[in-house]
Chain A
Amino acid sequence: MPILTADAAEGVLVLVLTRRVNESIMIGHEIVVTVLEVHGDHVRLGIKAPRSVDVHREEIFNELHDANTEAAAAADGQLPAVPAVGTGAPTLPE
Protein backbone atom coordinates (compact mmCIF):
# COMPACT_ATOMS: atom_id res chain seq x y z
CA MET A 1 0.00 0.00 0.00
CA PRO A 2 1.31 3.46 -0.83
CA ILE A 3 1.81 5.72 2.15
CA LEU A 4 1.57 9.49 2.14
CA THR A 5 4.05 11.23 4.40
CA ALA A 6 4.67 14.92 4.89
CA ASP A 7 8.05 16.17 3.73
CA ALA A 8 8.84 18.72 6.42
CA ALA A 9 11.39 20.57 4.31
CA GLU A 10 9.11 21.00 1.32
CA GLY A 11 5.82 21.17 3.15
CA VAL A 12 4.29 18.82 0.60
CA LEU A 13 2.99 15.29 0.74
CA VAL A 14 5.33 12.57 -0.49
CA LEU A 15 4.06 9.29 -1.80
CA VAL A 16 6.12 6.42 -0.43
CA LEU A 17 5.88 2.96 -1.96
CA THR A 18 7.98 -0.19 -2.11
CA ARG A 19 9.08 -1.88 -5.33
CA ARG A 20 11.26 -4.88 -6.15
CA VAL A 21 13.83 -5.13 -8.94
CA ASN A 22 12.14 -5.10 -12.37
CA GLU A 23 8.98 -3.58 -10.93
CA SER A 24 7.83 -0.14 -12.04
CA ILE A 25 5.76 2.81 -11.02
CA MET A 26 3.66 5.00 -13.28
CA ILE A 27 3.77 8.79 -12.93
CA GLY A 28 0.76 10.14 -14.74
CA HIS A 29 -0.06 7.94 -17.70
CA GLU A 30 3.14 8.40 -19.72
CA ILE A 31 6.09 8.18 -17.34
CA VAL A 32 7.31 4.76 -16.19
CA VAL A 33 10.11 4.39 -13.65
CA THR A 34 11.56 0.87 -13.32
CA VAL A 35 13.95 -0.38 -10.65
CA LEU A 36 16.64 -2.14 -12.68
CA GLU A 37 19.24 -3.02 -10.09
CA VAL A 38 19.94 -2.54 -6.39
CA HIS A 39 23.51 -2.74 -5.25
CA GLY A 40 24.09 -1.64 -1.64
CA ASP A 41 23.00 1.99 -1.49
CA HIS A 42 23.06 2.33 -5.29
CA VAL A 43 19.80 1.98 -7.16
CA ARG A 44 19.70 1.92 -10.97
CA LEU A 45 16.49 3.20 -12.46
CA GLY A 46 15.12 3.07 -15.97
CA ILE A 47 12.92 6.00 -16.88
CA LYS A 48 10.57 6.05 -19.83
CA ALA A 49 9.17 9.51 -20.49
CA PRO A 50 7.79 11.49 -23.45
CA ARG A 51 10.10 13.87 -25.31
CA SER A 52 8.43 16.84 -23.68
CA VAL A 53 9.67 15.71 -20.28
CA ASP A 54 13.26 16.35 -19.27
CA VAL A 55 14.86 13.79 -16.96
CA HIS A 56 17.85 14.86 -14.85
CA ARG A 57 19.52 13.93 -11.59
CA GLU A 58 18.12 16.43 -9.08
CA GLU A 59 21.43 18.12 -8.21
CA ILE A 60 22.33 18.49 -11.89
CA PHE A 61 18.90 19.90 -12.67
CA ASN A 62 19.39 22.45 -9.88
CA GLU A 63 22.83 23.43 -11.24
CA LEU A 64 21.45 23.94 -14.75
CA HIS A 65 18.34 25.72 -13.45
CA ASP A 66 20.39 28.20 -11.42
CA ALA A 67 22.98 28.73 -14.17
CA ASN A 68 20.30 29.30 -16.84
CA THR A 69 18.37 31.72 -14.61
CA GLU A 70 21.56 33.64 -13.88
CA ALA A 71 22.62 33.67 -17.54
CA ALA A 72 19.22 34.93 -18.72
CA ALA A 73 19.23 37.69 -16.08
CA ALA A 74 22.76 38.75 -17.07
CA ALA A 75 21.88 38.78 -20.78
CA ASP A 76 18.74 40.83 -20.15
CA GLY A 77 20.68 44.01 -19.46
CA GLN A 78 22.72 46.13 -21.78
CA LEU A 79 25.95 45.10 -23.38
CA PRO A 80 27.43 41.98 -21.83
CA ALA A 81 31.10 42.18 -20.93
CA VAL A 82 32.51 39.21 -22.74
CA PRO A 83 36.27 39.00 -23.21
CA ALA A 84 37.23 40.27 -26.62
CA VAL A 85 38.97 37.07 -27.68
CA GLY A 86 39.59 37.66 -31.35
CA THR A 87 35.96 38.28 -32.12
CA GLY A 88 35.21 41.46 -30.24
CA ALA A 89 32.68 42.13 -27.51
CA PRO A 90 29.13 41.34 -28.59
CA THR A 91 26.17 43.65 -28.33
CA LEU A 92 22.69 42.39 -27.63
CA PRO A 93 19.98 42.98 -30.21
CA GLU A 94 17.01 45.05 -29.07
Chain B
Amino acid sequence: MIDTDLIREECAEAGRIYFPAGLPGFQHLHSFELLPLGSHDCAFSALVSCDDPSVRFVVVSPWEFRPDFELELDPSVSSLLGVVDTADALVLCVVTPGKSGGDTTINLLGPIVVNRRTLEARQTVQPGPRSRVREPLGGAS
Protein backbone atom coordinates (compact mmCIF):
# COMPACT_ATOMS: atom_id res chain seq x y z
CA MET B 1 0.00 0.00 0.00
CA ILE B 2 1.23 3.50 -0.85
CA ASP B 3 2.00 5.67 2.16
CA THR B 4 0.15 8.75 0.91
CA ASP B 5 0.80 10.74 4.10
CA LEU B 6 4.56 10.30 3.85
CA ILE B 7 4.67 11.25 0.16
CA ARG B 8 2.43 14.25 0.79
CA GLU B 9 4.71 15.49 3.58
CA GLU B 10 7.77 15.09 1.39
CA CYS B 11 6.03 17.01 -1.41
CA ALA B 12 4.86 19.77 0.94
CA GLU B 13 8.40 20.23 2.29
CA ALA B 14 9.56 20.77 -1.26
CA GLY B 15 6.66 23.17 -1.91
CA ARG B 16 5.07 20.72 -4.29
CA ILE B 17 1.41 19.97 -4.74
CA TYR B 18 0.54 16.34 -4.16
CA PHE B 19 -2.29 14.59 -6.03
CA PRO B 20 -2.69 11.17 -4.32
CA ALA B 21 -4.89 9.96 -7.19
CA GLY B 22 -3.24 11.93 -10.00
CA LEU B 23 -5.58 13.65 -12.45
CA PRO B 24 -7.95 11.89 -14.88
CA GLY B 25 -5.75 11.04 -17.86
CA PHE B 26 -2.61 11.49 -15.74
CA GLN B 27 -3.24 9.10 -12.87
CA HIS B 28 0.45 8.18 -12.76
CA LEU B 29 1.61 11.75 -11.98
CA HIS B 30 1.30 12.74 -8.33
CA SER B 31 3.68 15.62 -7.70
CA PHE B 32 3.38 19.04 -9.35
CA GLU B 33 4.97 22.45 -9.06
CA LEU B 34 3.01 25.67 -9.49
CA LEU B 35 5.13 28.13 -11.45
CA PRO B 36 4.34 31.71 -12.44
CA LEU B 37 3.61 32.39 -16.09
CA GLY B 38 4.77 35.56 -17.77
CA SER B 39 5.07 38.78 -15.87
CA HIS B 40 4.46 39.04 -12.12
CA ASP B 41 0.96 40.44 -12.58
CA CYS B 42 -0.12 37.57 -14.85
CA ALA B 43 -3.13 35.71 -13.45
CA PHE B 44 -2.12 32.42 -15.08
CA SER B 45 0.25 29.84 -13.65
CA ALA B 46 1.75 26.63 -14.97
CA LEU B 47 1.14 23.40 -13.09
CA VAL B 48 4.14 21.32 -14.07
CA SER B 49 4.63 17.63 -13.29
CA CYS B 50 7.77 16.94 -11.25
CA ASP B 51 7.91 13.37 -12.57
CA ASP B 52 7.45 14.31 -16.23
CA PRO B 53 8.11 18.04 -16.85
CA SER B 54 6.75 17.67 -20.40
CA VAL B 55 3.32 17.47 -18.76
CA ARG B 56 2.12 20.91 -17.78
CA PHE B 57 -1.19 22.67 -17.50
CA VAL B 58 -2.03 26.35 -17.71
CA VAL B 59 -4.19 27.11 -14.67
CA VAL B 60 -6.03 30.13 -13.34
CA SER B 61 -8.33 30.95 -10.45
CA PRO B 62 -11.93 30.62 -11.63
CA TRP B 63 -12.78 33.95 -9.95
CA GLU B 64 -10.34 35.74 -12.25
CA PHE B 65 -12.80 35.32 -15.13
CA ARG B 66 -16.01 34.29 -13.33
CA PRO B 67 -16.41 36.46 -10.23
CA ASP B 68 -19.74 34.70 -9.58
CA PHE B 69 -18.21 31.20 -9.60
CA GLU B 70 -19.32 29.13 -6.63
CA LEU B 71 -17.30 26.17 -5.45
CA GLU B 72 -19.39 23.27 -4.25
CA LEU B 73 -17.43 20.56 -2.50
CA ASP B 74 -18.86 17.12 -1.96
CA PRO B 75 -18.55 16.32 1.79
CA SER B 76 -16.51 13.22 1.00
CA VAL B 77 -14.06 15.28 -1.07
CA SER B 78 -13.71 18.03 1.53
CA SER B 79 -13.04 15.48 4.26
CA LEU B 80 -10.54 13.62 2.04
CA LEU B 81 -8.71 16.89 1.44
CA GLY B 82 -9.21 18.29 4.92
CA VAL B 83 -10.72 21.43 3.41
CA VAL B 84 -13.47 22.69 5.71
CA ASP B 85 -13.78 26.22 4.42
CA THR B 86 -13.19 27.66 0.93
CA ALA B 87 -10.55 29.88 2.56
CA ASP B 88 -8.49 26.70 3.23
CA ALA B 89 -8.46 25.97 -0.48
CA LEU B 90 -6.50 27.15 -3.45
CA VAL B 91 -8.78 26.67 -6.44
CA LEU B 92 -7.31 26.31 -9.91
CA CYS B 93 -9.08 25.72 -13.20
CA VAL B 94 -7.30 24.13 -16.14
CA VAL B 95 -7.11 26.36 -19.21
CA THR B 96 -6.83 24.94 -22.72
CA PRO B 97 -4.97 27.56 -24.76
CA GLY B 98 -6.52 27.92 -28.22
CA LYS B 99 -4.86 28.87 -31.50
CA SER B 100 -6.31 32.30 -30.99
CA GLY B 101 -7.43 33.91 -27.77
CA GLY B 102 -11.08 33.38 -28.65
CA ASP B 103 -10.59 29.59 -28.80
CA THR B 104 -9.18 29.38 -25.29
CA THR B 105 -11.38 27.50 -22.84
CA ILE B 106 -11.50 27.01 -19.10
CA ASN B 107 -12.59 23.86 -17.28
CA LEU B 108 -15.22 24.96 -14.76
CA LEU B 109 -16.61 21.41 -14.41
CA GLY B 110 -13.47 20.05 -12.77
CA PRO B 111 -11.63 22.66 -10.73
CA ILE B 112 -8.50 21.50 -8.92
CA VAL B 113 -8.79 22.09 -5.18
CA VAL B 114 -5.57 22.32 -3.17
CA ASN B 115 -5.44 22.31 0.62
CA ARG B 116 -3.28 25.40 1.26
CA ARG B 117 -1.86 23.91 4.45
CA THR B 118 -0.99 20.35 3.37
CA LEU B 119 -0.70 21.03 -0.40
CA GLU B 120 -2.77 17.91 -1.06
CA ALA B 121 -4.97 18.28 -4.14
CA ARG B 122 -7.69 16.62 -6.17
CA GLN B 123 -9.55 17.45 -9.34
CA THR B 124 -13.11 17.85 -8.13
CA VAL B 125 -16.41 17.72 -10.03
CA GLN B 126 -18.85 20.59 -9.83
CA PRO B 127 -22.60 20.25 -10.37
CA GLY B 128 -24.06 21.64 -13.56
CA PRO B 129 -23.92 20.86 -17.28
CA ARG B 130 -21.00 18.82 -18.59
CA SER B 131 -20.37 21.59 -21.14
CA ARG B 132 -18.72 23.54 -18.30
CA VAL B 133 -15.66 21.42 -19.05
CA ARG B 134 -14.89 23.69 -22.05
CA GLU B 135 -16.24 27.16 -21.39
CA PRO B 136 -14.89 29.96 -23.56
CA LEU B 137 -12.55 31.92 -21.33
CA GLY B 138 -13.46 35.31 -22.69
CA GLY B 139 -17.18 34.70 -23.16
CA ALA B 140 -19.87 35.42 -20.61
CA SER B 141 -21.06 32.47 -18.54
Contact = CB atoms under 8 A, between A and B. Distances in A.
Contacts, number: 143
B68 interface: no
B21 A74 contact: no
Given A64-B24, A66-B25, A72-B26, A90 B44 contact: yes
B58 to A, nearest CB: 5
Contact of A80 (B25, B39, B58, B102): B58
A52 B39 contact: no
Interface residues of B, number: 52
Interface in B82-123: 94-104, 107, 109-110, 122-123
B23 interface: yes
Contacts of B1: 30, 50
A91 B123 CA distance: 24
Interface string B14-39: 00000011111111000000011111
A52 B20 contact: yes
Contacts of B48: 93
Given A61-B24, A76-B54, A83-B102, A71 B94 contact: yes
Interface in A13-71: 30, 50-54, 56-57, 59-61, 63-71
B97 A64 contact: no
A81 B99 CA distance: 6
A57 B126 CA distance: 12
Given A53-B21, A88-B38, A93-B46, A83 B104 contact: yes
A91 B38 CA distance: 5
A68 B26 contact: yes
B2 A52 contact: yes
Interface in B27-69: 27, 35-39, 41-44, 46, 48, 54-58, 64-65
Interface of A: 30, 50-54, 56-57, 59-61, 63-72, 74-77, 80-93
15 contacts: A54-B122, A59-B130, A60-B130, A64-B23, A64-B24, A64-B123, A72-B26, A75-B95, A81-B103, A81-B104, A82-B104, A90-B44, A90-B58, A92-B56, A93-B46
Instruction: State the 3 A-B residue pairs at the shortest beta-carbon distance, nearest first.
Output: A80-B97, A90-B37, A54-B21
